[in-house]
Amino acid sequence: MTDNATTPHRPDIDSLPESARRVALLLRERGHDGQIVMLPETGKTSAEAAAGLGCSIAQIAKSILFRRREDDAPVLIVASGANRVDEKKVAAQVGDIARADAKFVREKTGYAIGGVCPIGHATTPVTLIDADLFTLDSLWAAAGHPHAVFNLTPQQLAAMTGAPVVDVALRETA
């Protein structure tokens, strides 16, 4: 018997928090099994999510939202949890960007920080996917709630978002 206080569990869809239930239904609509895993501890950071899932930090597909300066459009970067996002690389792709505050994130995505899913946003964002995710077979992404995640492949992520795959990682130079 597993102890749900210390291990992730897969609740039925009706027992999920409302925002995670919304994601599960959206995933099913898009051909994914929609299975959401609830972490016993928060998955707000890549390290917390990886520890709760027993996977590498690189396998966490973290969703980071920026604000494009010219038109206030949301810019979503889905990056490997092991990477820091290079804002200059992102700006070269989409235009000058600024960091988004919690209010902007909630307003534009419909999700709280720490639970931003790569799909199902209130306002469709300009989206870029970190090319480093494509070195992995399996990813975990937030499912609309800080404790909710779902598993997918990089190819499924690209198909669900329709986003280009680009180098967005900050690389340390010697």
Q: Does residue 173 belong to any structural domain of this protein?
A: no
Q: What's the pLDDT at 1?
A: 33
Is 89 within a domain? yes
For residues 166 and 155, the answer to whether their CB atoms sit within 8 Å is no
How far the first Cα of the chain sits from its last, in Å, is: 50
Say if 148 falls within a structural domain: yes
**Please, which pLDDT band fits residue 43 given cuts at 50, 70 and 90?**
confident
CA gap 56, 49 in Å, rounded: 9
Give the E-state strand segments of 14-143 in sequence order: 37-38, 60-68, 74-80, 97-99, 126-130, 139-142
Q: Is residue 3 part of a domain?
A: no
Name the residue among 111, 123, 30 with its Cα closest to residue 75: 123
Question: pLDDT for 62-85, tens place per residue?
Answer: 999 999 999 999 999 999 999 999
% of the chain residues with pLDDT over 90:
81
> What pTM was computed for the model?
0.91
3-state secondary structure at position 22: helix
Select from 21, 50, 70 the least CA-distant residue to 141.
50
What is the residue range of 38's domain? 13-166
97 and 67 in contact (C-beta within 8 Å)?
Answer: yes
Q: What band does 2 get if pLDDT is binned at 50, 70 and 90?
A: very low
Distance of CA 47 to CAs 81, 131, 171, Å?
8, 20, 19
CB neighbour list of residue 22: distance below 8 Å, 6 or more residues apart: 120, 144
What's the number of domains the chain is made of? 1
Confidence of residue 8 (pLDDT cuts 50, 70, 90): confident
CATH number of the structural domain spanning residue 86: 3.90.960.10
114-158 pLDDT, tens digit each: 899 999 999 999 999 999 999 999 999 999 999 999 999 999 999
Burial bucket for residue 62 (CB in 10 Å: 0-12, 13-18, 19+): buried
3-state secondary structure of 143: coil
Q: Is residue 147 part of a domain?
A: yes
Residue 8: inside a domain = no
